[in-house]
Amino acid sequence: MTLSFLIILASASLCLAKDPVWVNPLNPKDPQSLPTGVNKNVLVVGGGLAGLSAALELAERGYSVTIKEKYKSIGGKLFCKPVEILNQTFYIEHGFHAWFYNYYQFKDIRKRLGIDENFKSWDAVHYIFRNYKPEVIYSEGPYPLNLLGIISRSPNLKLTDAIKSVLSLPDLIFYDFDSINEKYDNLTFHEWAIQKKVVQDFYDIIMKPALSVTLNEQEIFSAAEMLSFVQIYFLTNSKADTREVTNVNYYQAILKPWTDYLLKLNVKIILDAEVLRLKIDEKGQNVYGSVDKTGDDSTVYDWVVMASEVGAVKKILANTFDYYKTSAILNPIISNCIQKHLDPMKVAPDYKVVRLWFDKKLNNSAPNILETPDFAPVNLVAQYHLLEEEFMQWSSRTGGSVMEFHCYTWSSHFSPNVSDSEVWNLISPTVELIYPEIFERNFQVLAYHVNSFQNFASFEKGLLKQRPFSNSFEMNKLNSIYLAGDWIRTDYPSALMERAVSTGREAANHILIKDNVRQVPLLVVNKKGPGLGF
């Protein structure tokens, strides 16, 4: 996401930051864990951030938790696996991520795991454009003077650009989560900008970059969802735009400490165990087991948290429906859940993350992370030899560099069926526009690795009202099943990795209150915008 969205508010004289709010337990007097001798089994389907979050809360409170992960690596969209490259084992992530100040649930987990030292600040965000001068955006000083500082340093914008876009200010300054969702989900963000008469330069430099890194098609992204993102990442308080990156790979920084902690709590983590369908008691509509690729799981589960990506949840429920389609009780219940909450959900376009090992380094002025909103399909470039320790060591030893190119909405530009060996040649002309130095100095590609995915949720207009909450299945009489993930709806502003972690905690809380165990509080972004004060 781009820090520069904050400039929209530069025309306001004074803004009041909004503190986060607590979602407190509904049962504060209940005990903090299951009573001694009481055993409750929970199946968590999916080992990404949402599943790990739910497992953590439940295991700490005495539940017997089993995580079944489809892939051979834990982490979901955060996965990080060892790969043999250039006679060395490197841990390669799903792709680069940033960690923001308002990721309150994740910061709480970081402290509990003792991994804060694995993160470092990312102080300034660099952008390049085709038709504008490069931007270096950073926030400095008290709120809202930091906003004025951003615009005063911009080589492209003037305060009058924000003033001319004054019609957009009420939806931002006086943001109201519930009314914005109701009013704007049937508009795209681009349509909203036209409606609010945002000037073109301002849209291109300030707003468009935020859309370019959502992995969705920019032209169809929901205005309601994006306005929520704006509050989370830019406006709700003076530190909202503060972000961090890890100084080691995600396996060492996050996943190993997290899974080690879960294993100490006796959580079973089963990899390469894709869940195919659920086993449901036809009379009580309660889940009592699952069938995975290894066979029939005979464990009787009291609760299930489905923490998989949207496509996987669709597949599991479709298989479950097929199995119980002759059941007079379950057929209409499962069918209703599928039609009401899953069928409308879509998956964002496919994308590729390409990491290359070069024999040379860019000049010292090249930023460690560069956002490139005008250079699709390349949307972001990260220099890993400036970010993570193992790549720093390799670079110091060889004089080479390791660079990662994020290519979103891939099939809008190239065939989805190209081989990995073709990817670099296809994106090279675009990369040459971004970093001509690579070609002028004849960088040699020593090795490269390609990740290809189509697993990110779509946030196109019109989907928000049909998006399920973490307890939507239960509300539709499919008992004992809760949902978690970055595609699940919340009743407070949330997005991306923090939404995954938060909904994992929500799913755990639904289980805890049913078992008379005290729920876990959530600290969340305020539903109200910063407002004005004089």
Q: Give CA–CA dist 228/318, Å, rounded.
A: 31
Q: φ, ψ for residue 314 (rounded to 5)?
A: -55, -45
Q: φ, ψ for residue 532 (rounded to 5)?
A: -125, 150
Amino acid type, 8: I
8 Å CB contact between 48 and 77? yes
8 Å CB contact between 60 and 265? yes
Alpha-helix runs per DSSP H in 437-495: 437-440, 472-475
Helix (H) / strand (E) element for 70: namely: none
The separation between the first and the last C-alpha atoms of the chain, rounded to the nearest angstrom, is 30
Amino acid type, 40: K
- Strand 369-371 and strand 125-127: the pairing is parallel
- What are the residues facing 468 on neighbouring strands? none
Q: Is 418 left (phi over 0), alpha (psi -120 to 50) or beta?
A: beta
- What are the residues facing 523 on neighbouring strands? 22
Alpha-helix runs per DSSP H in 61-202: 104-113, 145-153, 159-164, 169-173, 177-184, 189-195, 200-202
Please list the helix, strand and coil fractions of the chain in percent, rounded to the nearest 5, in that order: 40, 20, 40
Cα–Cα separations (whole angstroms), residue 349 to 371, 377, 412, 463: 19, 12, 8, 16
- What are the residues facing 127 on neighbouring strands? 135, 371
8 Å CB contact between 158 and 189? no
User: What secondary structure does DSSP assign to 137-153, as a single string?
Assistant: E---SSTTHHHHHHHHH
* Beta-carbon contacts of residue 134 (< 8 Å; ≥ 6 apart): 126, 127, 128, 155
Half-sphere exposure of 134 (CA within 13 A, CB side): 14
8 Å CB contact between 300 and 43? no
Crossing angle of helices 104-113/256-264, nearest 10°?
70
Q: Give CA–CA dist 414/46, Å, rounded.
A: 31
Residue 405 sits at the vertex; the CA angle it makes with 401 and 409, to the nearest 5 degrees, is 175
Residue 203 is classified by DSSP as I
User: What secondary structure does DSSP assign to 318-352, as a single string?
Assistant: HHHHHHTTT-TTHHHHHHHHIIIIITT--BPPPEE
Q: Give CA–CA dist 165/9, Å, rounded.
A: 10
136 is in an annotated binding site: no
- Strand 41-45 and strand 64-68: the pairing is parallel
Annotated binding-site members = 275
Give the residue ranges of the annotated binding site for FAD: 275
